[in-house]
Amino acid sequence: MTAEPTTPEHPAKPARRFALLSNRAGAVFLTPAGLLVALFVIIPFFWVIFVSFTNRTLLGRTALNPEFVGLANYFALFDPSNFFQRGQFGFSLILTTQFVLASALIGQALLGLLLAWLIQTVPPWIKRLTETFVIAAWILPEVVIGFAWFAFLDRDQGTLNAILGSVGLPKGDFLLQQPFWVIVVFNTWRGAAFSMMLFNSAFSSIPPSYFQAADVAGASSWQKFKDIALPLIRGHVVTDLILITMWTFNTFTPFLLTNGGPSYRTELLSIYNYRVAFRDFEFGKGAAVGVIIMLINLAFALIYLAIGRKKRV
Amino acid sequence: MSNRLRALAFGLVGATAMAGPAFAVDLEITCRCVIGGVNSATAEWIQNSVIPAFEAANPDTKVTLNQFGGEDAQLTQQLALDFSTGAGPDVTAFDGFLIPSFVEGGLLKPLNEVAGPEVDDWSGWAALSEGSRALMIYEDQYYGIPLGTDVRMLYTRKDMLTEAGIDAETWQPTSWADILDAARAIKKVKPDSFPIQLNAGVAMGEATTMQGYWLALLGTGETVLDENGKWIVGSQGILDTLNLYKTIYVDEQLGDARAQLLADGRNRSFANFRDGVTALLFEGDYFYRSVTPEGSEFAVPDRDKVMGWVKIPAEEPGKGIRGQDFVTISGGTGFVLNPATDTPKEAWALLSFMNEPARLEAFQAIQPRITARTDVAIPNSPFLTESSQELLPITTARPNDPDYNAVSAEIQRMTESVVSGELSPEDAMAQYRDAVIRIVGEDNTVSLL
């Protein structure tokens, strides 16, 4: 009875009790961050939407006197007569979808999952070595790896062709002949580390006794993976898929390898957006592309948040 | 004083010291030039001749040269973005054809508006030839001082022509067929060679338009504009030009199609000529004066024996622009003032100083060229004397139009879709038509078909 006041509504309202600051102090401390967010996120957001309704450019007559063109930029992007042509918005959109499917979902997630599963059983030093290499691919500066891959794939002086040549295989002109697969492999290599680390920690959280019991029952590795590990890490898989889909959708790094070429064959949406806005200087049209990319990202983010909320419940 | 206050005080002192000028005036000058790299002579001239002399004459001034090593299009991009935000160098090298689109975009201002009436009093204007002055004029206003002009020709490798049984000393093609025949003859004796280089593709930027498309199109008797100033978006001339590209790069592989698609394709085309892979190269006179001299990356061994040049023929004799048998086109570069410069008077002083005869003669000593000033002699360079005498009278210029830059980018795309084998000449032209209509509006275009 006497103990009651010390633990009043403990389970019901924990939030109030652990306030670090008074409401007012909290608001004051939040203000600078809030202002920065407003300045660099919210205002540009609405500015981009506004610009996307104009024919504003950086050079030429429409730079000083842009006109309000309504949805003309959007209609131009979705013009059915050239939607699928290389170098147009539709082509980039489809290319980006294929790129996400091939390099993010199949490449990074599957490879990461496989690596994470395989290093569960190997001796610790092999595990550490593998992790080091995979993570190195992830943390190296983009410009450095861009050049490294360029040197690796070059037709005349590239390392890959030197290796192929030395074992008697025909040399390839990868950057010109298979540019799409080059950036798919590149992005897989680059990003598998995140999935691997995420799945690695997920697998480590499964009590070893589950697998020991399965071993006793004579389960194969595939059965253990399919029936024990996978169901238990489902939440991690969903998180991983959404995050890497979003990242891959927005990635710009393949530009360092191919410049979006040859003939726009690797012009992902982010690169297309860059070209329209900052090489052709068509700010209005570029802004419209930016708005569409923002909407797609917003959709990803909402799905991610919804799943996150469901998991907590 | 608490530690925190003391740190703050030191920080402020430090920041003030950093911000305070070491000299009364700091000037920055940018060019696409690197000592020992691209346009090395220009960089050497500014660094070793212009700056020391200018600083000696203006002791309070410090001039810094930014050596920009990227592509032309990247410098354009940087300048456009810099100028639009009030940043950027005080004085910068500038390609004349960009002036209209920069001016219309509000990114360049007339020189006398930036620096005041002393611009109009400069003695140098009278010494500039009318043609070269036009390079930096838009709507009767000067935006910069031209440095020089150029002409385009067809460079030949005499050793390869001789090998194919052609008399290299007297060979002067009079039609496209003559060029193609020579290329086929070379391809026959050297199957691994790519005898012709006619620039194409997006990666080469304006070099594609200027050293490729124009040279063929003028030979069909057309330009990109008709006589009423409307953009031609469909014509036999465009088709003939695209078919020439197709013959060279797709049908007969007389040219190195890879080099048109790679990001560093222009350098590959130079390397091909140096290495005896390409025998017939369409380029400007600077290919001789600044790309191939001894000691540079693309130096042609034994150049004076191996390398020659001929006039670029029209598609057929008499079919070229203005009924000419031969065609060429000129551009020009100069230096402009950043309209947002903090020190316009000093920037103008530097700009006019470097264009005085004494400084330009110092440049000629490093690298002879066709100068803009009539009072600066072209030094004893038989190559430049001959080429300017033969080609300047028949030359053409790009349209002085703010939309030209954007249309030129579409020309680069059109040629790329043909040489990559992706589109037929007809489809590529249709795509070009749609793109140009988007840029200039349908009323400003015309189809001659």
- Give A83's contacts (C-beta < 8 A, 6+ positions apart): A89, A90, A91
CATH 3.40.190.10 domain extents, chain B: 3-142+331-394, 152-329+399-447
- The C-alpha atoms of residue B260 and residue B268 are separated, in whole angstroms, by 9
Give pLDDT, residue A311.
61
For residue A82, the chain B residue with the least C-alpha distance is B431
pLDDT digits (tens, 9 = 90+) for B208-227: 999 999 999 999 999 999 98
Could you say which DSSP state residue B47 is in?
I
pLDDT tier, A3 (very low <50, low <70, confident <90, very high otherwise): very low
Chain B interface, Cβ < 8 Å to A: 73, 77, 80-81, 84, 98, 101-102, 104-107, 202-203, 258, 261-263, 402-403, 405-406, 409, 413, 416-417, 420, 422, 431, 434, 438
Q: Is the dihedral of CA B417, B422, B426, B431 positive or negative?
A: negative
Task: Return the biggest CA–CA distance within chain A.
Answer: 87
- Rounded to whole angstroms, the Cα distance separating B308 from B311 reads 11
Identify the residue among B94, B208, B411, B416 best suited for mutation to test binding to A, counting A beta carbons within 10 A and taking the highest. B416
Least confident range of A221-235, B66-80, B344-358: A221-235
| pLDDT tens figures, A6-32 | 444 455 555 555 677 788 888 898 999
Residues 6 or more apart whose CB falls under 8 angstroms from that of A157 comprise A151
Q: What percent of chain B has pLDDT above 90?
A: 58
The CATH class for the domain spanning B152-329+399-447 reads alpha beta
Residues 260-279 in A contacting B (C-alpha not used; CB under 8 Å): 261-263, 278-279
CB contact at 8 A, B273 and B155: yes
pTM for the model stands at 0.83
Contacts within 8 Å (CB) and 24+ apart, A42-45: A45/A294
Pick the CATH number of B3-142+331-394 from 3.40.50.12500, 3.40.50.720, 3.40.50.1000, 3.40.190.10: 3.40.190.10
Q: Looking at residues B39-60, what average pLDDT do you find?
A: 90
pLDDT in tens, A109-165: 898 888 888 888 788 888 888 888 888 888 888 888 888 888 888 888 888 888 888
Cβ of residue A178 closer than 8 Å to a chain B Cβ:
no
Split at pLDDT 50, 70, 90, the class of A5 is very low
B409 and A262 within 8 Å at the Cβ level: the answer is no
CATH classification of A81-312 is 3.10.180.10, yes or no?
no
Collect all residues of chain A within an 8 Å Cβ-Cβ radius of residue B73: 279
Tokens of A254: 């393949």
Q: Would you call A192 helix, strand, or coil by DSSP?
A: helix
Q: Quick check: helix, strand or coil at residue B6?
A: helix
The alpha carbon dihedral of B342, B345, B348, B350 has a sign of negative
Coil, helix or strand for B396?
Answer: coil
- CA-nearest residue to A150 within chain B is B263
Q: Are B111 and B337 in contact (CB under 8 A)?
A: yes
Interface test with A, best of B104, B415, B438 (most A CBs within 10 A): B104
Q: What is the ipTM of this complex?
A: 0.81
Return the residue matching tokens 């909320």.
A309
A83 touches chain B (CB under 8 A): no
B63 torsion bin: left (phi>0), alpha (psi -120 to 50), beta (else) = beta
* Helices A111-118 + A179-204 axis angle, to 10: 40
User: What is the domain partition of chain A in residue ranges?
Assistant: 81-312
List of chain A residues whose C-beta atoms are within 8 Å of the C-beta of residue B434? 81-82
